[in-house]
A = this chain, B = another copy of it.
Amino acid sequence: CLMLHSRFLGYLCAILFGIILFNYRALSEDSAMENIVTEKKAEESHRQDSADLLIFILLLTLTILTIWLFKHRRFRFLHETGLAMIYGLLVGVVLRYGIHVPRDVSNVNLNCHVNASPATLLVDVRGKFYEYTLKRVISANEVDDLQDNEMLRKVTFDPEVFFNILLPPIIFHAGYSLKRRHFFRNMGSILAYAFLGTVISCFIIGLLMYGCVMLMKQVGQLGGDFFFTDCLFFGAIVSATDPVTVLAIFNELQVDADLYALLFGESVLNDAVAVVLSSSIVAYQPEGDNSHTFEVMAMLKSFGIFLGVFSGSFALGVATGIVTFTKLRDFQLLETALFFLMSWSTFLLAEACGFTGVVAVLFCGITQAHYTFNNLSPESQDRTKQLFELLNFLAENFIFSYMGLTLFTFQNHVFNPMFIVGAFLAVFLGRAANIYPLSLLLNLGRRNKIRSNFQHMMMFAGLRGAMTFALSIRDTATYARQMMFSTTLLVVFFTVWICGGGTTQMLSCQHIRVGVDSDQDNSMSIAEGSERRSTKQESAWLFRIWYNFDHNYLKPILTHSDGDINLTYGDITVSTDATGAHTSGGPAFAGATSSEDLDRELTYGDHELVMRGTRLVLPMDDSEPPFTDPHNRLRM
C-alpha cells in the first residue's frame, strides 16, 4: 500500500509539474506576441506566482511524505530539514539547467535616467499614470543577468520574507517549547554559552577570516573589497547555532535532560545574540573619511546599540508576554486567536519601535510559556501548542528547501575555495573556543559538572541553520556579502548533513547514555521516600535567586490559576509534567508524560509534589488523604 501511495503521488507531482511548465511556456509566448493591457498582465503575473508557490508546496509535500517513510522505518540519518534541502537542490538543478524561459526583453530595456531613487515612482504614459514601487537596487553587472532566465528570477523570494515572516514563528516556537525546569536549572551555563560564547565565537571567526582575506589579497584571489567589519559580520551570522536535527534525535532517544537543556537553551538564545550582534556591526560607522578604520567612539556606539536593542527587545517581549494573561477560558477559539494576535503584535511592535522583532518574540514566547500558559484553558494550551508547532514545521522546512533551491538558482554566487576552507576552519575553531574554555570555567562553579563527553557533543552539535541563512541572504548587494552568502550555504549544508546525520554515531562514540526519563527519576525518588535532591539544592546561586523571586512574587501575581491547575493544598507544592493528560481519553494523568510537553511547575513554599499516573504520593505525614477525588479535582 505504501508503494502504491508513493507511486501515485509521484504521478501526481509529475502532472502538476507539467501544468506549471506548460503554463510558463504558454504565458511567455502570449506576452511575446502582443502588447497586452495591464489588467491581463496582472492576471498572468498572478498565474505565474501561483505556479511558483505551487513548486514550493509540492516540495514540502514531497518532504513530508519522505519523512513519514523515514520515521516509519526509524531511519535517523537524515532529518526532515536535511531532506528538504536535498529536494530543494534537485528542483534547483532542474530549474537552472533543465528549463530556460528567456525573459521578455521589452520588460526590462526601458531605462529612465533620473537623479533620485524614490520609494514610489509615477510613470506617465500618454495621460495614464502607473505607480511603481521600489523593489531593490541592482549593480550594473546584474542588469545583464536579469534578462537571462525569467524562471530563476521568479522563484527568488524577497529576502525579507525569511526574516519577517518565516523566522518569527520558528523563534517563537523555540521559546514557547523551552523545557523550563531544566532550562532554569542550567540558566547560568546557558547564558554564559549564549552571550559570552557567541561573542567569543564571533570575534574568533572574524579575526581568522580577516587573516584569510589578507592572505587571499596577497595571492590575488580577492575579487572585491572585504573589510574587517565584513569579517566580523560573517563571524556574527555563523555563530547562530540551530541544532534542530540533533535535538530531534535527542528527544527520540531520550538523551540526558541537562545536555538537552544546555544545547537547546544555548541555540535559542544565541540566535537572539547573533541577530543583535550583526545589526550592531552593520551600524559601526566611524566619522572619518575611511569608513573601515578602527575608532573607539564608533565601537562604543555599536556596543551601545547592541545593549539598547537587546535589552529593549527583551523588555518588550517580556512585557507583552506578561500582558497576555487572559480570562477568556470559556471560549477557546477567542482565547487562541487572542494569544496568536498578541504574539504577533509583539513582533510588529518591536519592529515599529526599531527593536528586533525576532528577539522580542523569543522572550515573549518564553514568558508566555512560563506564565500565560498556565492561565489558558486546557483546550487552548493544546491548540496554541499545536498551532505553533505546525507553523514552525512549515516555516522551517520551507526555509531549508529554499536553501537547497537557492544554491543553484541564486545568480550571484561567489565560490572562493580559499575563503571556503578558511571559513570551515574558522567555524570549527570558533565553536571550540566557545565550548571548551567556557565549560572549564563553568565547571569551577557547577556542582553537576559538564563532563568532557558532553562538551564534545556540544561541540559536534553546533549546526548552522535557518537564522544563519536568513541573516546572510538579507543583503547580497556587495561582493563581500555574496561570497559570505555562498560560503554560509555550504557551511549549513555540511553541518546539517554530516554533523546532523552522525548524531547517533557520535552519541554512542562518546558513551552518552540514552533512554533516560528524567521525570521517572524524580517520581521514583519521591516514591521511595528518600531524601530527594530538590531542584533548588542542585543548582547555582543565580538560579536560586531567580527561583525564589519568581515563585514568591511573580508566579502568584501573573498566574491567576484558580481553575484546573491550581493544585496547592496546605503546604504542599505540586509539580506536574502532565499537560497532555486530557487528550489521552483515559483517566487523568495516564500516559500523559510526553517529552514534547511543556513542564508545568506549581511550587508552593518548600515542598514539591510530583504526580504520575493516578497515583498520588505525598511526602508528608498526613493521615487524611488530601484530595478526596483526585480524578475530578486534578483534572488537567
Contacts and interface: CB of A to CB of B under 8 A. Distances in A.
Interface of A: 1-2, 5, 8, 12, 16, 19-20, 23, 35, 38, 41-42, 45-47, 50-51, 53-54, 57-58, 60-61, 64-65, 67-68, 71-72, 106-140, 142-143, 146, 160, 164, 323, 327-328, 330-331, 333-334, 336-338, 340-342, 344-345, 347-349, 351-354, 357, 379, 383, 386-387, 389-390, 393-394, 581-583, 585, 588, 635
Given A38-B134, A585-B582, A348 B50 contact: yes
Top 3 A-B residue pairs of the complex, sorted by shortest distance between their CB atoms: A132-B132, A50-B351, A51-B352
B387 A390 contact: yes
B340 A390 contact: yes
A565 B152 CA distance: 47
13 contacts: A46-B164, A54-B348, A60-B341, A61-B338, A68-B334, A71-B334, A72-B330, A108-B122, A115-B126, A117-B123, A131-B135, A333-B393, A336-B386
Contacts of A136: 130-131
A553 B35 CA distance: 51
A121 B131 contact: no
A531 to B, nearest CB: 35
A121 B132 contact: yes
Given A124-B112, A345-B57, A65 B20 contact: no
A127 B107 contact: no
B107 A345 contact: no
Contact of A585 (B1, B139, B323, B585): B585
A107 B117 contact: no
A227 B347 CA distance: 48
Contacts of A51: 348, 352
Contact of A132 (B57, B134, B341, B390): B134
Contacts of A585: 581-582, 585, 588, 635
Given A112-B114, A114-B125, A337 B107 contact: no
Given A122-B146, A133-B133, A333-B393, 18 more contacts: A2-B327, A12-B323, A20-B352, A47-B352, A64-B328, A68-B331, A71-B331, A110-B121, A111-B122, A115-B126, A129-B140, A131-B138, A132-B134, A340-B394, A386-B386, A387-B387, A387-B390, A585-B585
Contacts of A347: 50
B123 A107 contact: no
Contacts of A338: 61, 64-65
A409 B375 CA distance: 38
A352 B54 contact: yes
Contacts of A143: 122, 129
A71 B330 CA distance: 9
Contacts of A345: 16, 54, 57-58, 61
Contact of A139 (B8, B117, B128): B128
Contacts of A65: 338
A435 B444 CA distance: 82
Contacts of A46: 160, 164, 351
A118 B106 contact: yes
Contacts of A67: 334
A344 B123 contact: no
A46 B72 CA distance: 44
Contacts of A126: 115
A134 B45 CA distance: 11
Contacts of A114: 110, 112, 123-125
A341 B54 CA distance: 10
B132 A135 contact: yes
A497 to B, nearest CB: 21
A53 B348 contact: yes
Contacts of A47: 351-352, 354
A119 B39 CA distance: 11
A47 B160 CA distance: 13
A106 B112 contact: no
A151 B510 CA distance: 61
